[in-house]
Chain A
Amino acid sequence: GQSTDRELPMSLKSDTSNGNLEEGRVTLAGNVEITQGSLIIRANSGEILQVDGRFDRANFDGTPVTIEQDIDGQGKLHAEAKRVEYQVEKEVITLIGGVKIDRPRGSMRGERIVYNLATGDMDAGNSGSRVELIIQPKPKTKTN
Chain B
Amino acid sequence: MFILLLIGAVITSYWVWFRPEPVLPDAFVGPPRSDYELGQFDMQVFDDNGKLSYYVEAPRLSRDAQRESFTIDRPRVRLYDQREQNWLITAKSGYIDVKADRIDFDQNVVMQRDSNVDPMRFKSDQITAFHKEGRVETATPIEIKARGATLTGTGLKANLNDKTYVIEKDFHATMPPARSR
Residues of A within 8 A of B153 (CB): 16-17
CB of A133 within 8 A of chain B?
Answer: no
Contact between chains at B177 and A55 (CB < 8 Å):
yes
Q: Does A120 contact B (CB under 8 A)?
A: no
Residue of B nearest to A56 (CB): B178
If the complex has contacts A15-B169, A17-B171, A21-B165, are A53 and B176 also in contact, measured as CB distance less than 8 A? yes
Interface positions of A from 80 to 98, Cβ below 8 Å from B: 88-89
Known: A21-B144, A21-B147, A23-B163. A16 touches B175 (CB 8 A): no
> Quick check: B167 and A17 within 8 Å, CB to CB?
yes
A89 contacts B147, C-beta separation under 8 Å: no
Overall SS of chain A's interface: strand
Determine the chain A residues whose CB is within 8 A of the CB of B148 once the complex forms.
50, 53-54
The one of A7, A11, A15 in contact with B174, judged by C-beta atoms closer than 8 angstroms, is: A11
Interface residues on B, range: 20 to 34
Interface residues on A, range: 20 to 34
Which of A9, A16, A88 is B171 in contact with, Cβ under 8 Å? A16
Q: Which residues of B contact A14 (CB under 8 A)?
A: 171
Contacts of A9 in B (CB 8 A): 174-177
Given contacts A16-B168, A20-B163, 17 further A-B contacts (CB under 8 A): A10-B174, A10-B177, A11-B172, A17-B151, A21-B144, A21-B147, A22-B118, A23-B163, A24-B147, A26-B173, A36-B177, A50-B149, A54-B148, A54-B178, A55-B175, A55-B178, A89-B178
Measured CB to CB, the residues of B under 8 A from A are 118, 120, 144, 146-149, 151, 153, 158, 162-180
